[in-house]
């Protein structure tokens, strides 16, 4: 039985992407070699990485002033690599902290320079987004997390700032049109909406690079990766390939506009159910709710466990909240069919009737 | 037609590993989910990573004083991460440089502290290994490249030293029994003998950690990865899985003793042919020749191109030398059947007859 996969990441991928990826592991494009066996400097792979880089730009409608990299190390490594490349020891960067990922980004940045937490929503357990705050004009960038995977909040507008804007879009990249060109750097682990675990997409506006005095380790230097056409060292070949399959799928299905439409349908169905049923209560302020990750609670811990048990029985996985916050969480990424959300909603209605 | 895959990396993998990996992309162990869709903190994946860590220790016959990590970023990231974790600004580390990879390791290390190149074989284009050299006793470690993928040399004995010994084993890990316990840190990109591109195996003796004064970025700190049981952030799930399949295959086939036996058979066949045929000439001093990567030349550039063309026609790929050194190179990793080497040797004999 195919499961209903509400995992927060690694998470659901389109079935046709899985099919194509599985075939490529046996024979890549009929060349008589597995995708796992081809050199990264062969024309076979160079075509893959070039198409991947071009597709990212196309979906984001970005021009020549941007470059796209497919790096390793996860978004967590970007928490480090961003300040390493951009933040001098004596300089300061501004961070919006809306949850545990923003918090970790701050911890890494502090190793490299000064950090201004210009906005924190910790006062209310990060159950909302604070959109008004001021940023010292001498800060070198403003960093925010566009979608808070753990807490279930999302920025529905891009932060307004004159500073170079940097976004951790790990959990909502390619799920909606955004004015990407307002950003100077965007990064995302691929394992939600953009492929499998093991590759991190970094989109960087080239004019922000090369401005620190730091002697940056070559392998950590964005410029070195750009100069090497994204082949500075062996890239995670298979993970890049899964990303390209996923990006092709997004484009074919109608691009980011269509992804957003589907995300809204799924989220509307789920949140309206949560709002209407007495047993369930969404955690996040209505206007800041994430279209990707819905967090909610039940009356008490026993009901929660009972509900989780029933989900499990019906093949619905990943419904448990993140270990740092508890409660319940349902993740609904691009590849999630509305039928899975409908099945969950049906269970919720029935569960509410029996336990209300 | 299945090709003869002499790629230097990413490179040939056992057919049954490819088969199992391909199936897992559709359905992992019959759970109704792809290996690409499972959370890294589920018991499904925790079992995988734990088995992978245990298998590495078992194959290397290492005890409790060692830990095993599956990181991202390739061996090149280890060039940086090793000195970041171990080398203070005012301290010095010793490096043997036997080729381009050792050279890159030195360049990264210089960012973090002082480097003593205690042995360099650059004088003869790295066509041999220098085994006698002295190392200042106050150096914090000695680093060497056990197999020089590009130049085709290999250390057939472990360097003798009182210092903590660190090895880049990217291109010969798991190809032979080594006294691994003489090492304090071993690392290897998996894409040769240990799996697919996208994961780097790091084996570390815990007593060398925690001795620098540097404020290490958490995601780059080996200790943080160990404390988090190798799940500090999302690991490259699929690449780890391909590694475990590869390690299981090595164990089942007879372990490192058997891998070495096969490697010697392949290398003997190839080198004896190269030595005997006038048209071909191995580059490396006999006693230092690599069992994994054989480098050689032909009389002239035209013959070289002609030979490459004939290899291509017969489905033999990856025979071209590294872009930095030219010439010809044949890589013969664990999964390479002797029949592929025999096919190449047959072509060489025939080529020599026609062009000698
Ligand atoms: C918003 C966000 N940022 C960062 C991360 C960390 O990503 P990784 O585990 O790939 O380092 C995650 C992971 O879930 C995330 O959701
Ligand atoms: C001995 C050795 N060290 C380091 C590397 C670099 O590995 P990566 O490309 O994974 O960073 C290679 C790659 O071929 C290698 O053969
Ligand atoms: Mg956050
Ligand atoms: Mg309600
Ligand atoms: Mg070397
Ligand atoms: Mg000869």
CA angle (A26 as vertex; A15, B174 as ends), nearest 5: 120
Residue B325 confidence (pLDDT): 85
B69 has a pLDDT exceeding 90: yes
CA angle (B149 as vertex; B145, B153 as ends), nearest 5: 70
Q: For A319, which residue in chain B has the nearest alpha carbon?
A: B39
Please tell me the distance from the alpha carbon of residue A268 to that of residue A282, in angstroms, as a whole number. 12
Instruction: Point out the domain boundary residue: B201, B228, B253.
Output: B253
A346 has a pLDDT exceeding 80: yes
Q: For B37, which residue in chain A has the nearest alpha carbon?
A: A11
Count how many residues are written for chain B: 356
Three-state SS letters, chain B? CCCEECCCCCCCCCHHHHHHHHHHHHCCCCCCCCHHHCCCCCHHHHHHHHHHHHHHHHHHCCCCCEEEEEECCHHHHHHHHHHHHHCCCCCEEEEEECCHHHHHHHHHHCCCCEEEEEEECHHHCCCCCCCCCCCCCCCCCEEEECEECCCCEECCCCCCCCCCEEEECCCCCCCCCCCHHHCCEEEEECCCCCCCCCCEEEEEEHHHCCCCCCCCCHHHCHHHHHHCCCCCCCCCHHHHHHHHHHHHHHHHHCHHHHHHHHHHHHHHHHHHHHHHCCCEEECCCHHHECCCEEEEEECCHHHHHHHHHHHHHCCEECCECCCCCCCEEEECCCCCCHHHHHHHHHHHHHHHHHHC
Residue A113 confidence (pLDDT): 98
**Cα-only R_g, chain A:** 21
Query: In terms of Cα–Cα distance, which of A91, A45, A25 is closest to A229?
Result: A45
Look at the alpha carbons of B33, A307, A329, B70 in this order and tell me if their dihedral is positive or negative: negative
Please tell me the distance from the alpha carbon of residue A141 to that of residue A182, in angstroms, as a whole number. 12
- Find the catalytic residue in B67, B172, B192, B205: B192
Question: B192 an active-site residue?
Answer: yes
Ligand nearest to the CA of A76: 1
Residues A140 and A207 in one domain: yes
Q: Output the residue whose Cα is nearest ligand 1's atom 4.
A: A75
Residue A333 distance to chain B (closest CA, Å): 12
Residues A39 and A137 in one domain: yes
Residues A307 and A195 in one domain: no
Residue B82 confidence (pLDDT): 98
Is the shortest distance between the CB of A170 and ligand 1 below 6 Å? yes
Percent above pLDDT 90 for chain A: 97
What ipTM was assigned to the predicted interfaces of this complex? 0.98
Q: For B74, which residue in chain A has the nearest alpha carbon?
A: A234
A37-53 per-position pLDDT tens digit: 999 999 999 999 999 99
Residue A215 confidence (pLDDT): 96
- Report if residue B106 sits inside a domain: yes
**Which residue among A103, A149, A175 is best mutated to probe the pocket of ligand 1, counting the most ligand atoms within 8 A of its Cβ?**
A149
CA angle (A266 as vertex; A263, A270 as ends), nearest 5: 135
Residues A131 and A262 in one domain: no
Please tell me the distance from the alpha carbon of residue A258 to that of residue A142, in angstroms, as a whole number. 29
Query: In terms of Cα–Cα distance, which of A102, A109, A114, A56 is closest to A82?
Result: A109
Instruction: Point out the domain boundary residue: B253, B278, B305.
Output: B253
Q: List the structure tokens of A216.
A: 């940056």
B236 phi and psi angles, rounded to 5 deg: -75, 85
Residue A2 confidence (pLDDT): 74
Is the shortest distance between the CB of B102 and ligand 2 below 6 Å? no
Residues B205 and B242 in one domain: yes
Average pLDDT over residues A45-67: 98
CB spacing of A197 vs B34 below 8 angstroms? no
A142 has a pLDDT exceeding 70: yes
Q: List the structure tokens of A287.
A: 């206007």
Mutate to test the interface with B, among A196, A245, A318 (most CBs of B within 10 A): A196
Mean pLDDT, chain B, integer: 97
How many other C-beta atoms can be found within 10 angstroms of the C-beta atom of residue B287?
10
Residues A215 and A238 in one domain: yes
Q: Residue B340, CB half-sphere, CA atoms under 13 Å: how many?
A: 24
Q: Output the residue whose Cα is nearest ligand 2's atom 4.
A: B75
Tally DSSP H helices, then E strands, for chain A: 9, 14
Work out the pLDDT band at B323, boundaries 50, 70, 90.
confident
Q: CA dihedral in degrees (B45, B51, B55, B61; nearest 10)?
A: 130
B159-216 per-position pLDDT tens digit: 999 999 999 999 999 999 999 999 999 999 999 999 999 999 999 999 999 999 999 9
**Which residue among B171, B198, B293, B318 is best mutated to probe the pocket of ligand 2, counting the most ligand atoms within 8 A of its Cβ?**
B171
**Cβ neighbours of A5 in B, within 8 Å:** 33, 37
Q: List the structure tokens of A195.
A: 């492929």
Q: CA dihedral in degrees (B327, A46, B196, B170; nearest 10)?
A: 40
Average pLDDT over residues B102-116: 98
- Report if residue A3 sits inside a domain: no
CATH code of the domain covering residue B336:
3.90.1150.10
Is the shortest distance between the CB of A75 and ligand 1 below 6 Å? yes
Residue B216 confidence (pLDDT): 97
- The residue segments making up the domain with residue A283 are 255-355
Mutual orientation of helices B237-253 and B255-276 as an angle, nearest 10°? 80
Residues B249 and B284 in one domain: no
Query: In terms of Cα–Cα distance, which of B244, B215, B219, B242 is closest to B231?
Result: B219
Mutual orientation of helices B338-355 and B255-276 as an angle, nearest 10°? 0
Centroid of chain to Cα A353 = 35
Q: Does A276 touch chain B (CB under 8 A)?
A: no
Q: Binding site for pyridoxal 5'-phosphate: what residues of B are annotated?
A: 75-76, 101, 149, 168, 191, 233-234
Residues A217 and A261 in one domain: no
Ligand 1 atom index nearest CA of B234: 9
Please name the member of B21, B74, B111 whose beta carbon is closest to the beta carbon of A72.
Answer: B74
Residues B143 and B212 in one domain: yes
B220-257 per-position pLDDT tens digit: 999 999 999 999 999 999 999 999 999 999 999 999 99
Please tell me the distance from the alpha carbon of residue B306 to that of residue A70, in angstroms, as a whole number. 36
Residue B1 confidence (pLDDT): 65
Q: Output the residue whose Cα is nearest ligand 2's atom 14.
A: B9
B63 conformational bin, left if phi > 0, alpha if psi -120 to 50, beta if neither: beta
A 226-245 near B (Cβ less than 8 A): 232-239, 242
CATH code of the domain covering residue B203:
3.40.640.10
Residues A284 and A162 in one domain: no
- Find the catalytic residue in B168, B172, B221, B288: B168
**Cα-only R_g, chain B:** 21
Please tell me the distance from the alpha carbon of residue A85 to that of residue A184, in angstroms, as a whole number. 13
Q: Does B153 touch chain A (CB under 8 A)?
A: no
Query: In terms of Cα–Cα distance, which of B124, B99, B97 is closest to B285?
Result: B124
B108 has a pLDDT exceeding 80: yes
DSSP code of residue A325:
T
A 70-99 near B (Cβ less than 8 A): 72-77, 79-80, 84
Work out the pLDDT band at A64, boundaries 50, 70, 90.
very high
Q: Is A9 helix (H, G, I), strand (E, B) or coil?
A: coil
Residues A85 and A221: beta-carbon distance below 8 Å:
yes
Burial class (CB in 10 A: 0-12, 13-18, 19+), A213: exposed
A1 has a pLDDT exceeding 70: no
Residues A240 and A262 in one domain: no
CB spacing of A198 vs B318 below 8 angstroms? no
Average pLDDT over residues B292-309: 95
- Report if residue B7 sits inside a domain: no
CA angle (B259 as vertex; B254, B263 as ends), nearest 5: 150
Residues A296 and A179 in one domain: no
- Report if residue A8 sits inside a domain: no
Question: B249 an active-site residue?
Answer: no
Work out the pLDDT band at B117, boundaries 50, 70, 90.
very high
- Report if residue B5 sits inside a domain: no
Instruction: Point out the domain boundary residue: B253, B276, B300.
Output: B253
**CA-to-CA separations, B104 to B97, B100, B170, B204, in angstroms, rounded:** 9, 6, 14, 21
Please tell me the distance from the alpha carbon of residue B103 to that of residue B85, in angstroms, as a whole number. 19
- Report if residue B2 sits inside a domain: no
Is the shortest distance between the CB of A172 and ligand 1 below 6 Å? no
Domain tally for chain B? 2
A279-288, A317-326, B106-115 — which is least confidently predicted? A317-326
Query: In terms of Cα–Cα distance, which of B70, B52, B71 is closest to B60?
Result: B52
Q: How far is the CA of B38 from the centre of ligand 1 (A)?
A: 15
A113-125 per-position pLDDT tens digit: 999 999 999 999 9
Residues B172 and B193: beta-carbon distance below 8 Å:
yes
Mean pLDDT, chain A, integer: 97
Residue A324 confidence (pLDDT): 84
Q: For A9, which residue in chain B has the nearest alpha carbon?
A: B39
DSSP string, A125-164: TT-S--------TT-S-EEEESEETTTTEE-SSPPP-SSP
- Report if residue B6 sits inside a domain: no
Residues A32 and A39: beta-carbon distance below 8 Å:
no
CB spacing of B189 vs A234 below 8 angstroms? yes
Please tell me the distance from the alpha carbon of residue A74 to that of residue A203, in angstroms, as a whole number. 14
- Report if residue A168 sits inside a domain: yes
Please name the member of B7, B36, B108 whose beta carbon is closest to the beta carbon of A18.
Answer: B36
CB spacing of B73 vs A219 below 8 angstroms? yes
Percent above pLDDT 90 for chain B: 97
Q: Is A97 helix (H, G, I), strand (E, B) or coil?
A: strand
């Amino acid at each position: 039985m195919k499961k209903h996969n509400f995992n927060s990441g690694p998470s659901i991928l389109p079935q046709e992407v899985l099919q194509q990826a599985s075939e490529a592991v046996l024979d890549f494009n009929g060349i008589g070699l597995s995708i796992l066996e081809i050199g990264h400097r062969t024309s076979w792979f160079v075509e893959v990485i070039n198409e991947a880089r071009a597709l990212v730009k196309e979906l984001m409608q970005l021009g020549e002033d941007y470059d796209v990299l497919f790096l390793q190390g996860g978004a967590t490594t970007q928490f480090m690599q961003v300040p390493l490349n951009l933040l001098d020891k004596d300089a300061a960067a501004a961070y919006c902290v809306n949850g545990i990922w923003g918090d970790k980004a701050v911890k890494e940045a502090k190793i490299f320079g000064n950090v201004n937490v210009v906005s924190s929503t910790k006062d209310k357990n990060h159950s909302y987004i604070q959109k008004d705050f001021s940023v010292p004009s001498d800060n070198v960038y403003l960093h925010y997390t566009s979608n808070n995977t753990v807490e279930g909040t999302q920025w529905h507008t891009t932060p307004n700032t004159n500073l170079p804007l940097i976004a951790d879009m790990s959990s909502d990249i390619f799920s909606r049109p955004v004015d990407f060109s307002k950003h100077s750097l965007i990064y995302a682990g691929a394992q939600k909406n953009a492929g499998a675990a093991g590759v991190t997409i970094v989109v960087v506006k080239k004019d922000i690079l090369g401005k620190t005095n730091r002697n940056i380790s070559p392998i950590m230097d964005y410029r070195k990766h750009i100069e090497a056409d994204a082949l500075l060292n062996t890239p995670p070949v298979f993970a890049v390939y899964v990303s390209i399959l996923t990006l092709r799928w997004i484009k074919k299905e109608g691009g980011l506009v269509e992804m957003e439409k589907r995300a809204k349908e799924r989220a509307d169905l789920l949140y309206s159910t949560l709002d209407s049923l007495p047993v369930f209560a969404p955690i996040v302020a209505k206007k800041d709710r994430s279209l990707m990750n819905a967090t909610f609670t039940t009356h008490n811990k026993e009901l929660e466990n009972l509900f989780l048990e029933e989900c499990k029985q019906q093949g619905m996985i990943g419904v448990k909240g993140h270990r740092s916050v508890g409660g319940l969480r349902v993740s609904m990424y691009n590849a999630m069919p509305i039928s899975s959300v409908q099945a969950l909603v049906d269970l919720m209605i029935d569960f509410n009737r029996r336990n209300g």
